[in-house]
């Protein structure tokens, strides 16, 4: 549910300045893998180019606030990963019931319709595992209850890659205020990834459910103003558009047009026809990551 988001809002832009980091590494007590605790204090590398990312993960969990957020943000990348063998699970946090200003629309009816639209859209890109948390649309907060629910799902699905919305995005190009549900879902997701999912004694009640800790290896943030990598979606753009148009209660061909232009603008800056960009946080050293490269 992106509202009146301008088609070029999240297109990749040149970054200026320099990068200063402080960091260390910690070893996971169960797996022995080392994961990064590096904190980027200031990341504005002048003229920094996006890095191409062709690695294909084995398991991916995609967390989004609303039905249709995934299709706007990263469905082209997901289609590519699924085609290459990745197992992908969607988690839609809210019920989508606030997605209309039509006085004749009843919230429960709209929520049901949007659930069906999301399942249809997921199937277009090859995703069959879609989870709905059914939090109230429009008033989402990054509560401990939400973080617990996402931690539970991470420990159940055990992905090496989690995709979520960048919670640091607030004002965009002077034309858009990021939806607070996007930020709340993103904030809860990143703290579910770390420290909650990986730490045994956070939410110990999950241990009673048989859900042992799990270390996510990399976090991909979409709808970001600070992208670091891009995925070439030239071969999957049409599936992204088809999936987007499944959300008939929310979008039309005009939305598809500017999403196509948005992907083309990102692709132009990335050096390909169409692309999606992400801000990536790698929590495990590269050599420990089983994600493979697509030929």
Residue 221 belongs to a domain: yes
Q: What is the pLDDT of residues 138-185, one digit of tens each?
A: 999 999 999 999 999 999 999 999 999 999 999 988 899 999 999 999
Q: What is the mean pLDDT of residues 26-36?
A: 41
Give per-residue pLDDT as tens, 118-135. 999 999 999 999 999 999
* The token pair that represents 53 in the structure block: 């990312």
Residue 99 lies in a domain: yes
CATH of the domain at 124: 3.40.50.10320
> What range does the domain containing 231 cover?
19-288
Q: For residues 158 and 32, is the Cβ–Cβ distance under 8 A?
A: no
- Structural domain count, the chain: 1
- Could you give the CA distance from residue 192 to residue 169 in angstroms, rounded to a whole number? 19
In a domain, 5, yes or no: no
Any domain includes 13:
no
pLDDT at position 32: 43
Q: Is residue 153 part of a domain?
A: yes
Q: Residue 293: which pLDDT band, with cuts at 50, 70 and 90?
A: low
In a domain, 24, yes or no: yes
- Write out the E strands in the chain: 19-22, 25-27, 34-36, 39-43, 51-52, 55-56, 59-64, 87-94, 129-135, 161-165, 171-172, 176-177, 218-222, 229-232, 275-282, 292-293
Global confidence as pTM: 0.84
Encode pLDDT of 73-127 as tens digits: 999 999 999 999 999 999 999 999 999 999 999 999 999 999 999 999 999 999 9
What mean pLDDT comes out for the span 223-230?
Answer: 96
**pLDDT tens-digit profile of 179-215?**
999 999 999 999 999 999 999 999 999 999 999 999 9
Q: Is residue 212 part of a domain?
A: yes
- Decide if 110 is inside a domain: yes
């Amino acid at each position: 549910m992106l509202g009146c988001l301008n088609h070029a809002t999240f297109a990749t832009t040149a970054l200026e300045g320099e990068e200063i980091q402080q960091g260390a590494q910690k070893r996971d007590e169960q797996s022995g893998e080392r994961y990064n605790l590096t904190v980027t204090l200031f990341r504005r590398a002048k003229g920094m180019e996006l890095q191409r990312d062709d690695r294909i993960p084995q398991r991916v969990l995609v967390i989004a606030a609303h039905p249709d957020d995934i299709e706007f943000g990263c469905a082209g990348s997901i289609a590519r990963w699924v085609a290459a063998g990745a197992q992908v699970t969607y988690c839609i946090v809210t019920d989508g019931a606030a997605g209309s200003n039509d006085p004749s629309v009843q919230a429960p009816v709209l929520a049901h319709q949007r659930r069906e639209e999301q399942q249809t859209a997921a199937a277009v890109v090859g995703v069959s595992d879609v989870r709905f948390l059914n939090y109230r649309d429009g008033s989402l907060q990054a509560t401990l209850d939400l973080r617990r629910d996402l931690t539970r799902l991470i420990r159940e699905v055990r992905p090496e890659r989690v995709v979520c919305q960048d919670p640091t995005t607030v004002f965009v190009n002077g034309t858009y205020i990021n939806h607070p549900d996007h930020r709340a879902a993103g904030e809860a997701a990143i703290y579910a990834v770390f420290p909650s999912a990986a730490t045994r004694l956070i939410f110990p009640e999950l241990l009673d459910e048989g859900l042992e800790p799990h270390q996510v290896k990399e976090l991909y943030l979409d709808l970001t103003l600070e992208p670091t990598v891009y995925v070439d979606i030239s071969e999957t753009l049409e599936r992204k558009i088809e999936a987007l148009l499944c959300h008939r209660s929310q979008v039309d061909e005009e939305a598809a047009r500017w999403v196509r232009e948005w992907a083309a603008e990102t692709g132009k800056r990335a050096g390909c026809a169409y692309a999606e960009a992400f801000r990536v946080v790698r929590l495990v050293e590269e050599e420990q990551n089983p994600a493979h490269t697509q030929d």
